[in-house]
Structures are given as structure tokens and as C-alpha cells.
Structure 1
């Protein structure tokens, strides 16, 4: 269900009638990177505290046959006082849970205010955003030059959401000799991840990490990319908004 939602949200954001259509490719990438970064941070939040319910102790509030009126009043009073005391304990316990939750939320906010702590989720978010904006990364025009012992290819994409076009880039692929022939036949089975360098302000293409036959392999761009993508990470403050007792499930 979560995967379906992740697919549906980008489709919604970039549907034909939306305010993002006029953005350039870098701006679209920014929108999607921020969406996935914020989504990852939301998932890192602690679970909402749940208020314990007052258990039914089975005591009847109705008069018992042949029970004296005074005895009934005393019994009723004792039951209500006992339940009120237990409810008070539940409320105090729940208030403590709320305080603990808000404290963890505050610590999480302070943690993600440091850019270095966003970096671990940034690469994954970039790859998700890359797929939405440009498509699924693939290899095309794979060629092995035996004279110079070089395997080359183009980084290309299969369009998924018709958001923007990706300009193919040439790569040098570093493949173990023992799996080279197998790769030339089945390179379409590679799982490809485009990696970026990020200096805190701009992105630049770094290399391509790909998996083939359980091997982790690298592709280097033949030409150093001059393309600089300005990236502004904005964390939604609502993610860290402390909760009040009335806002949670009881």
C-alpha cells in the first residue's frame, strides 16, 4: 500500500493540470527530492502515544436485590471514586507519554537541523526523485572495445511519468572479466542507482552504482558534468509540531 501511495503522489503532483508543469527540470527535481526527504523524516518519527482505556471492573451500578438503600449508595460511591481515581492515574500516565513523545520529537528536529544528518537519506531520496522526474535509469548502447579493453555504455532512462526528458550520458563501466560476457547479454537486468555529490548547496553527477548478478559495480562518467543543480532542502515544520492531549487517540 505504501509503495502504491509513493507512486500515486508523484503522478498527482505532475499531472497535466498542476502548478509544477512550468518548472524547469532542476526545479522539478527539487520538489521531488524535498517530498521524499520529508517523507523519510516522517517515517523516523516515534509512534504516537496511545491512551490506556479505563477497564470495566465488572461492578454493577444497579441496585442488587434486597440490597439496603444506604448500602447501595455507599457501594455506588466507592465504585465511582475508584473509577475516578483510576481515570486520574490514566490521565497522568498519558500526560507523561505526551511529554516523552514531544521530547523525542524536539530531539529529532534538532538532529535534522544539521545538514550532515540529512545526507544518509538524501541519496535514496535523490534516486526516487530521479525516477519520477527522468524515469528509470537503464544502460543503452553497451559496447566492449577489446583493443583498449574498455566497456562503455550510455546512461539512459525509461520514462515513467512523462515529467521531463533525460539527456543520455556516456559511461565507462568497470566489470569483472569473469562476468563481462554475461553482462553484455543481460545488462538490462542491472539495478542502477545514479549517485551525486552534494556540497550543501548544489548537486553534481558523481558516478553510477549498479548491481548485476549480486556484484556491486561502478560506472564512471566519461566527461565531468558541468551541470550544477541547486538543491534547497526544506523540512516541513509541521512534522515536528508537538502534540496536545486532545489531538491523540484515546
Structure 2
């Protein structure tokens, strides 16, 4: 796999993940599967127009900055993906076809068409594998140190999809395993009557998700996937505001 990774990423390409506040001492570990928008130089622009590279199909808008602020408030590490979900989706099983899509929300991703196995393996080796290895390594280190961990996976969603206006401000996703923290966060957020809170909405966590099932389920960790509507965290003020709301809900759920 190392050879495939070397073929894809050049010396001027960024590392496949970044960690903010790595020494954070709270029980929370934050991850951002779709926080980055980079594309390896070897892949050009994947056939995308510049406007498409700024859309939700490329990156979870606002999540990187929101995650950094939440990491500060919670004193939690934040591991986030550097590369675009269109290069490879780190919240999908790397062996599934939908890990590298050829179309997203009506836009053709021509640079992803007709990939052979070697090209797919290069993306897995260079981006998907090291990102999840970094999460696993931090979980291992925290377990060895006797540190409790609650995994929070941070995402954002577009206000409108396929003509449907999404009314939710925030959603909390969960599925199997230790759902108690997620359910407590739902209850805490629903106590604020000024916002519309989705319980497994706008998406329902299921077998198509990868990060929480892969890391939290086998370790019996409490977890939640947080989805915030993108227009609410597209600027600094919104990112700070929502980091405060999620910090309050997460801390209450933990206690």
C-alpha cells in the first residue's frame, strides 16, 4: 500500500489528515471525515468547475472551523480529513463503489470515471487508510492511559436537496452500540424551542456509514454523529454560536 500512496501524493501535497488540540484532556474525541477540500495535484481538478469545488458535494461547509472552535471549548482533540470527499469518502467503506462517486447532486465527477483497481487503491492507501489509522492510534493511546472516550463525528448538510427544503437546524445520528450519549444530546438540544432538531435526520445512520461503526462499535464507545445545516456555520459567527450549543449539549450528555 505504501507504493500506491507514494504514486498519488507528491512532495507538495498536504498530509491526509490534521490534528488540532492533540493533547486535549476531555473525554471527547472529534473527527471530521469531510472537513477538507484538497485534491492531490496528480488528479488535477477532477473535472470540476471552481464553483463546484466550493459546494457541499466537495466539502462539509464550515465543519473544519466549527470543529476547531468546538475542540477548544471542549478541550478535545480534533482529527480531520484534509482531502475532499470526492477524492475518497472517509465515511464510507473503502471497498464500496460509493467511496469514490462519479456523480454527486447532479454534478458529474469526470475525474472519477473508469478508475482501475490500482487507481482506487492509491486513494485508499494515501488518504483513507492513514486518516482512520490516526483515529485508531489515538483511541488506542487513550485506552492505554485509562482515558474515557466519547466519539463525536462532525458533519454539515445542505439546506436543500433534490428540491426538498430541510427544516432542521441540527441533527444527531446514531444506530447501534452505545447510543446513550447521542440520545441525551437529542434531548438536550430539543429543549431549545428556537431550533428544529433531527433525531436521525436529515440522515439516518446505517450500514452506509463507516467512521462510527468502525471505531465506536467494536470498542463499545459512546458516540454521536452531529449534522449542522451548512448555512448556519458558513461564517465565523455561526461557527462560534453552534460550537457553544454543541459544547453545552455534549457536556450535559456526558455528565
**Fold equivalence (TM over 0.5):** no
Q: Does 1 or 2 have the higher relative contact order (CA < 8 Å, sep 6+)?
A: 2
What TM-score, normalized to structure 1? 0.23
- What TM-score does the superposition give when structure 2 sets the normalisation length? 0.23
Computing the radius of gyration from Cα coordinates, the structure with the larger value is 1
